[in-house]
Amino acid sequence: MRGRHLALPTLAIMRSELRALWGGWLVRLWALAAIFLNFLILLSWWQVLPNTLLLATLLFPFLVFPWFIVIITLGATAVGSARVEILADGVLSRPITRLEFIVGSWLARAVTVLAVFLGAFVPLALIGLYADRPVLAETVTTDGVIVTCILVSLVLLALLSLGFFLGTILRNGWIALLVAFFVWYPINVLLSTFRVEEFSPISLNQGAPVVLRKSWFLPGEKKEQLDVVKLQQQFADLIRGFMAPPQPERRQRGFFREVEQHENIKPLRVSLSYGLATVLFTCLAYTIFFRQDL
Amino acid sequence: MELCGATWAANGDPNRSESTKRMNTVEAPTKKPDVPAIRTVHLTKVYGRQVVAVNNLCFEVPQGVIFGFLGPNGAGKTTTLRLLLGLQRPTAGEAYIFGQRCGPNAVSVRRQVGFLPTNPQFPGHLKPFEYLDLVGELCRLSAEERRPRIASLLRAVGLLPVADRRIRSLSTGELTRLGIAASLVGDPPLLLWDEPTAGLDPAARRFALDLIAELGRDRTVLIATHILADIDRVCNYVGVMHEGQMIFCGPMAEMKRRLGTDSFQLILAGSDENLRNFARVVQARPDLTTVWSNENQLRVSFPDGASRCRSLMELLQLIDQNGLELTAIHSGVGATEDAYLQLLQEDRAHGFKRFYEGTTSGPSNPGDHAL
């Protein structure tokens, strides 16, 4: 009972923020656009891509482009200048701590981001998996789908926390978005430079088919099909085509130089790195917010 | 306490559940009557090493008073309130509410404070009941406690007819009423209201002032404003802030008495010659202090110990003898305004002496802060 009273402000803020988010045009439009775009992707590749590559393609808008802009905006506007007065007068002048506010606000945004991601990905992924499509038969494990969803969710939460942090430190949602754009967009090149391309969202997108095929929770035999690997190479080329013109040899010496090296993806390591980034950005946002004058 | 027909007990809300009573008994600090409701010790706030908003502020507000927090625009009133609420951090000094130090995480302090900001901003997508319910949750009130309380508050502030409308569609007066209700949801013993009558029509203003007088019977109320008529009508204690410092803090009567403005303003009608004759006569009298603020407006102050009735009667006889008509006689509002303006003028006239006064004044005796 006492614990419930203690959590009451955090839950109240979370509910209020959720109502405000889903009552606004940004989240509603984003949810509709995300579902619509994934539907278009599904239709476009219906007769071409096998299951794993189709699912990886459905993840592309979330991991690479364009939804990172929306996610960072959601984070950056949480405590931006336009809202500070309302927050100070209406919420933070009441008997709550700033930590309770930050946690409530972050949770509301995290729930929103995950709801849109899962809402736009899972139903269409299930259609793609279980429909009778004229493509190469390929096994996708349940473990693989769960691990992929967890990994992508962690990436999205890290992005949200980055936006949260930038919005808190810069106190202006639009400037935060601009800065985030310049931080996030070239991150693949940056990680490749430091030979940790495994952590880049683009590489994760390229490695998703491997994750989807494996059985992660139960030890099972490794099933690798040469044709699928070739298709995966084509998919990687396709992604590169989206991202940039053909790269010179010097810049291809990343973690995943050869497509077979996607086998080296370590979900635990990736989870830990994005989990740590999420915690770090959120803690920094709280520390800065705690010291700010409202 | 009776609030527009709704029973609203400051410390004995009939809807308060036993569990919450127990919780509050454990968590709420014991208020001792001798502890000031508000106390600041050399409170200072400087923005970016450029703007001094609050300058070595030391003052106390006793419990159970209606405190008028006066000062011109930019004097630092709102910043002081924000420092008390922990929304801002002091550059130096400390602030206490009921003996507890204020700060960003001082939940137990804010639990005892009901805050009404100037032109309050609300989440426009909510309805009044929903917003007050959110505030109740932020105050950690259980549903069975807060919902009946919110219903009676909505009725008390006259918002029941608009309870089904979105906040964004409410008028300024209705928003202020909602802000007032929000500040009362947690049933706090201290109310900090920043310009509660700003932008209100006469009826809404009267409602707000009557409410302040009503609430001031069983709790401490601080009203920050620069509308002197409001202060004069409801406050019994006053603090005057100027350029970030408290230049007077004490009872209202003390302010008027110390500045010799416990006076009357007479508005006369008559020929110029009669007015000149009358002016000569009253200026010759040693028992009267007179100031002509206009050619037919005279402010008269009586010395301490003199019978004000007899002196006033003699003065009225003089007016009659000089062939003048008494158009109006005023006291109160004008006196406060004069006292206030005189305080500001004297503070400016003190020049560099203010530095010594500011550094030597202590918070223990509020009277020390008066000039």
Answer whether B120 sits within 8 Å of A89, measured CB to CB: yes
Given A20, A85, A294, which is nearest B121 (Cβ)? A85
Nearest CB partner across the interface for B138, out of A6, A9, A19 = A9
CB contact under 8 Å between B123 and A89, yes or no, is no
Sorted by where each starts, the structural domains of chain B and their CATH numbers stand as 2-257 (3.40.50.300), 264-330 (3.30.70.100)
d(CA B63, nearest CA chain A) in Å: 21
- B134: chain A residues, CB-CB within 8 Å: 12, 16
Q: Using 50, 70 and 90 to split pLDDT, how confident is the model at B25?
A: very low
* pLDDT of the residue at A109: 95
- Would you list the DSSP string of B114-148? EEE-SS----TTS-HHHHHHHHHHHTT--HHHHHH
Measure Cα distances from A221 to A213, A267, B282 in Å. Answer: 11, 18, 113
Q: Which residue of B has its CA nearest to A289?
A: B104
Q: How many CB atoms lie under 10 A from the CB of residue A206?
A: 27
Residue B23 pLDDT > 50? no
Which of the two residues, B348 and B297, has the higher pLDDT score? B297
The confidence score (pLDDT) of residue B40 equals 92
A87 min Cα distance to partner chain B (Å): 9
- Chain A nearest CA to B143, separation (Å): 10
Which pLDDT belongs to residue A202? 79
pLDDT digits (tens, 9 = 90+) for B208-217: 888 899 888 8
Question: What ipTM was reported for this prediction?
Answer: 0.75
Distances in whole angstroms, Cα of residue B212 to Cα of each of B46, B193, B220, B233: 32, 10, 10, 10
Report yes or no: A128 and A159 within 8 Å, Cβ to Cβ.
no
Residues of A in contact with B120 (CB under 8 A): 89-90
Distance of residue A180 Cα from the nearest chain B Cα, in angstroms? 26
* Residue B42 identity: H
Read off the pLDDT band of A58 (50, 70, 90).
very high
Of B47, B82, B137, the CB nearest to A8: B137
Burial A215-229 (b: 16+ CB within 10 A, else e): bbeeeeeeeeeeebe
- Tens digit of pLDDT for each residue in B238-297? 998 888 888 888 888 777 766 555 577 788 888 888 888 888 888 888 777 777 767 778
| Inter-chain CB proximity B105 and A8 less than 8 Å | no
Residues of A in contact with B107 (CB under 8 A): 95-97
Mean pLDDT for the stretch of residues B82-109: 91
Please tell me whether the overall predicted TM-score, pTM, comes out greater than 0.90 for this model: no
- Chain A residue with minimal CA distance to B110? A95
Residue B19 with chain A: CB contacts under 8 Å = 1
Q: Do B138 and A91 count as a contact with CB atoms less than 8 A apart?
A: yes
CA dist., res. A221 & res. B61, Å (int): 77
Q: Does pLDDT of A185 surpass 70?
A: yes
Backbone angles phi and psi of B292, in degrees to 5: -90, 115
Closest residue by Cα to residue B173 from B156, B193, B157: B157
Residue B7 has pLDDT above 60, yes or no: no
